[in-house]
Structure 1
Amino acid sequence: MVNRELIARHCICCAGDRLDKSAAVLMPFVAQRVFGHEPVEITADWGLRDLRQGMAYTLCNSLQCQDCGALFLDYRFTDEQMAALYHNYRDDVYNAQRIRFEPGYANVVPHYHQRAAYLDEVEAWLAPHLPEAPAVLDWGGDTGINSLFRERNRLLHIHDISGVDLVPGAERVDFERIGQNQYDLVTCSQVLEHVSFPQEMVARMLPALSPNTLMYLEVPHEALVREHPGSLELAPLKRHWHEHINFYSEDAMRRLLERLGLVVVDVLRLPVDVGWTRGEVMGVLVRLA
């Protein structure tokens, strides 16, 4: 059985136990969806002798591995808690709940209904490694709006727990269907930063790979990591956690994938402008060893 530490004591990427720790807060929207916590103000009426008055939020820790540099939240949410956090993701109820805590989120919502422009550059980077019309499996692809090679494929399968309607041409598949197909490319984009047990998730994808299949994994190359390249002193700088509970360095990604018997073919660093913010993505192309 997989050892799931619900309060992390080992690195989520390399399994090392040399973790630097610093106190942080879990953002109220996440704390409410996961734990049912609401921010509360401690006032004189509480009659607490030894606690200072002021706003109280859900406490957590920022952890950074001193071996591979991965930076992550100490809480590792259960499947049930993850389901609560992402229930009806980005529907009207979800958006209203989030806007109550984060009014600025209202300006972000419209951009999620548009295909990200930077994906053309990702496709151009991948194209030399693939057939003209590849068979693609998008793991965690939601509606398929941001699936790679959406307009140029032999088939586009999506494996996702959301159950939302798919874009035209995409087909939802379960584990059994995945095992009946040969894919040229398996993709998982903008997912691994959200999940509690990323190595376990990548391991679930391995049955979809053949010796000729490539896998493309994409995560945000977070500003804190970019601005302090190679630093192992990021934990005190990470004071709050939201949906992205894992921040990856390139070394952390490589260590995670090598533990699963995967070989890194190439790494992409790509600046992106997604409408409401600018940043950078890190894409890692791998194959079976």
Structure 2
Amino acid sequence: MVTSPADFIARSCICCASAQLDKSGAVLMPFVAKRVFDHDPVEVTADWGLRDLRAGMAYTLCNSLQCQACGVLFLDYRFTDAQMAALYAGYRDEAYTRQRDHYEPGYAAVAEHYHGRESYIADVERWLKRHVPARPAVLDWGGGSGLNTPFRGQHALLHVHDISAVELAEGAESIGPEQLVRGHYDLVTCCQVLEHVPSPRALIEQILPAMDRDTLLYVEVPHEALMREHPGSLTLARAKKHWHEHINFFTHQALHRLLENAGLTVLDSHLLPVDLGWRKAEVMGVLARLA
């Protein structure tokens, strides 16, 4: 049975709809559990008087699922719109950072890095330049403040659609789905978003009304370390024991299947090494257009 945007627990692959899923138990990290469910870790002690439970720390349980057809690895919980709004309210602002640092000491120091434009965006722009006009009209779907939108400052138009309601960077204009105009954009970007969302297919379908035959869609996700270290493995559910804000770990095949199933044709793709300053990473980018 296909997992729909209304399903709270995934019943099939979020990319290719296969029902062949490998499953293994895991925990939801406390910061996410607090924001989404208002759960805090609790310690089960002998004075609870529970006959069948062992003493120890109790955390919010979940499952890791991996599709045996396309390889995508994902959390079984598919958060509701309200839960997503709670999780990303004020994303990386002062209150968010303070709360996350409480659950994850040291996060505030790392978060300082996110207040500047990522250096690797210049590499993405060089890769995209051969496909887009010199001053493209850009829609950044899920672009936060627009700080890391490709071609910011080189654009003819820059619209940003995001649920976090953070303050926008200079040159960016906020837009809602009801304001989309087909054929208005040369390039739609969706960068570092699909790893966060409960229904990647539904999100791609929300973007489609902004596209015509000449519009290009650039989708970018992290190439997660677990996926890089075990290429082609279909036994990663048992290795993924905790989940945080990235609830979907993609393979190239999964990302291509996702876009193709939404009515898009993949034109090009790349893997780009990224130096984030505090750690090395890699991103996976795919360029597509309407089929």
Q: Which range, TM-score by smaller chain?
A: over 0.9
Deviation digits for residues 197-254 of structure 1 (CA, Å, limit 9, x no counterpart): 1100010000111101110000000000111111101000000000000000000011
For 1:10 and 1:185, locate their aligned partners in 2 and report how far apart those are by CA, in whole Å: 31
Say which of 20, 23, 36 aligns to 1:21.
Answer: 23
Following superposition, the deviation at residue 173 of structure 1 comes to: 1.8
1:202 to 201, 204, 208: 204
| SS of equivalent residue, structure 1 residue 188 | strand
The residue number in structure 1 matching 2:273 is 271
Aligned to 1:233: 235
Match of 2:187 among 185, 188, 200: 185
1:116, 1:235 → 2: CA distance? 31
Output the CA distance in 1 between the equivalents of 2:5 and 2:180: 26
Contact 2:13 2:21 (8 Å CA) reproduced = yes
| Aligned match for 1:69, one of 62, 71, 75 | 71
- Partner of 1:118 in structure 2? 120
Q: For 1:12-51, what aligned pairs fall within 5 Å after superposition?
A: 12-51=14-53
Identify the residue that residue 169 of structure 1 maps to in structure 2.
171
Residue deviations 1:158-182 (CA, integer Å, cap 9, x gap): 1122222222211122234321652
How high is the TM-score relative to the length of structure 2?
0.96
TM-score (norm. length: structure 1): 0.97
Tell me the C-alpha RMSD between the 2 structures: 1.3
1:60-116 deviation digits (Å, cap 9, x = unpaired) = 000000001010000011111111111111121111111111002122111111000
Call closer, same or farther: CA 1:180–1:22 in 2, change over 3 Å. Answer: closer
Which residue identity lines up with residue 170 of structure 1 in the other structure?
A
Greater Cα shift, 171-180 or 137-146: 171-180
CA 1:264/1:181 → structure 2, altered by over 3 Å: closer, same or farther?
closer
> In the alignment, what sits opposite 1:282?
284
For residues 107-131 of structure 1, give each alpha carbon's deviation from its aligned partner in whole angstroms, at most 9, with x where no partner exists.
2111111000000000000000111
Q: Is the CA contact 2:227–2:249 (under 8 Å) kept in the aligned structure 1?
A: yes
Provide the rounded CA distance (Å) in 2 between the counterparts of 1:77 and 1:177: 26
Any gaps of 5 or more consecutive residues in structure 1? none
Pairs aligned (count)? 289
Cα deviations by residue, 1:236-289 (Å, 9 ceiling, x for unpaired)? 000000000000000001111111110001111001011222110000100011
Contact kept, 8 Å, 2:265 with 2:289, in 1: the verdict is yes
Contact 1:107/1:276, CA 8 A, preserved across alignment:
no
Q: Does 2:250 match 1:258?
A: no
Q: Which moved more, 1:176-185 or 1:141-150?
A: 176-185
Q: Unaligned 5+ residue runs, structure 2? A: none
**In the alignment, what sits opposite 1:52?**
54
Match of 1:214 among 203, 213, 216: 216
